[in-house]
Chain A
Amino acid sequence: GAVVSQHPSWVICKSGTSVKIECRSLDFQATTMFWYRQFPKQSLMLMATSNEGSKATYEQGVEKDKFLINHASLTLSTLTVTSAHPEDSSFYICSARDPSGLVETQYFGPGTRLLVL
C-alpha cells in the first residue's frame, strides 16, 4: 500500500514552546490529509482535515489557533502545536488518501509522540 511518513517520530519540549510535526505522502499525491490525536489507552480522535491550498477544517473543540495546519504541497502537511503545555502531550497521527489508488482507503503515518515538560 501507499506510504505515509511523519517526522519527528518523537519529541520532548519545554512548556510554552512550539513544535512542528511533518506528514508526507511518499509515493502519491494527497489533496487531503487528516490529523488525529490519541491519548493513552484511548482511541484516535480526528483533530482536523487538511486540504492542499486551502484552510484546514477543524473538529469541534479543537483550537485552530493552537494547532496550526499548513498543507502547502500535495505531499506535505504540517501540524504546529503552538505554546505547548503538558496537556498537549499525546500521540499525533496523520493520514492521507491516495485518490489514484486501487483501494479506497486512508493510509496512516507511524505517529509522533509528543511529551511536553
Chain B
Amino acid sequence: DAKTTQPPSMDCAEGRAANLPCNHSTISGNEYVYWYRQIHSQGPQYIIHGLKNNETNEMASLIITEDRKSSTLILPHATLRDTAVYYCIVVADFGNEKLTFGTGTRLTIIP
C-alpha cells in the first residue's frame, strides 16, 4: 500500500543540482510530504517537509505541485556526501506519527 513512488536510482554530477522526484497521487488534504535520507549504515536523517507551499532550508528545497500529487526535492549543489538513499514519505498530521518507508531513491553523486 505504498503511498509514494520514487525512481529506484539516480546519478548526479558533483556541484550540480540534484532533483529527486516523488509521486504521491493519492495524498489527502491533511497529509504532509516529508523527505529523509539514509547514508550507508546510518540512521535516517530528516531533510525537509511541506504541506502545500514550497519550502527551503539549509539542506534543500521542496517543490510541491499545485495539485499536491507530486513533489521534487532539490539539493542545490550536490557533494559526494549527499550520496544516500532518499525517502519521500507522506504522513498525516504528525499526531499519527507512523512513518512508512518505501524503497526510496538511491542517489549517487559522481565526482
Chain A: residues with CB nearer than 8 A to chain B? Answer: 1, 4, 6, 32, 34, 36, 43-46, 49, 91, 93, 95, 97, 103-111, 113
Contacts A95-B43, A109-B43, A111-B42 given; indicate if A43 touches B94 (C-beta within 8 A): no
What residues of B have a CB within 8 angstroms of the CB of A108 in the complex?
36, 43-46
**Interchain CB contact (< 8 A) of A111 among B34, B36, B43:** B43
CB-based contact B97/A97 at 8 Å:
yes
- List 6 contacting pairs A-B, 8 Å CB cutoff, sorted by A: A43-B103, A43-B104, A97-B97, A104-B49, A106-B97, A109-B43
Q: Which residue of the partner chain A has the closest CB to B38? A: A44
**Known pairs A43-B103, A46-B100; A105 contacts B46 (CB<8 A):** yes
- Kindly state the interface size class of chain B when it binds its partner: 20 to 34
For residue B99, which residue of chain A has the nearest CB? A106
Instruction: Contact check, A97 vs B94: say whether CB atoms are below 8 A apart.
Output: yes
Residue of B nearest to A10 (CB): B41
* Closest chain B residue to A46, Cβ basis: B98
Question: Which secondary structure dominates where chain B touches chain A?
Answer: loop
A91 touches B41 (CB 8 A): yes
B98 — which chain A residues lie within 8 A by C-beta? Answer: 34, 46, 49
Instruction: Give a binary string over B29-63; 1 marks a CB under 8 Å from any A CB, 0 the rest.
Output: 00010101010011111100100000000000000
Task: Find B44's partner among A45, A93, A113 (CB 8 Å cutoff).
Answer: A93
B100 touches A106 (CB 8 A): no
Judge if B21 is at the interface, Cβ distance under 8 Å: no
| Known A93-B44, A110-B42; further 9 A-B contacts with Cβ < 8 A | A4-B43, A45-B101, A104-B94, A105-B49, A106-B97, A108-B36, A108-B44, A110-B43, A113-B41
A4 to chain B, nearest CB (A): 8
Q: Which residues of B contact A93 (CB under 8 A)?
A: 43-44
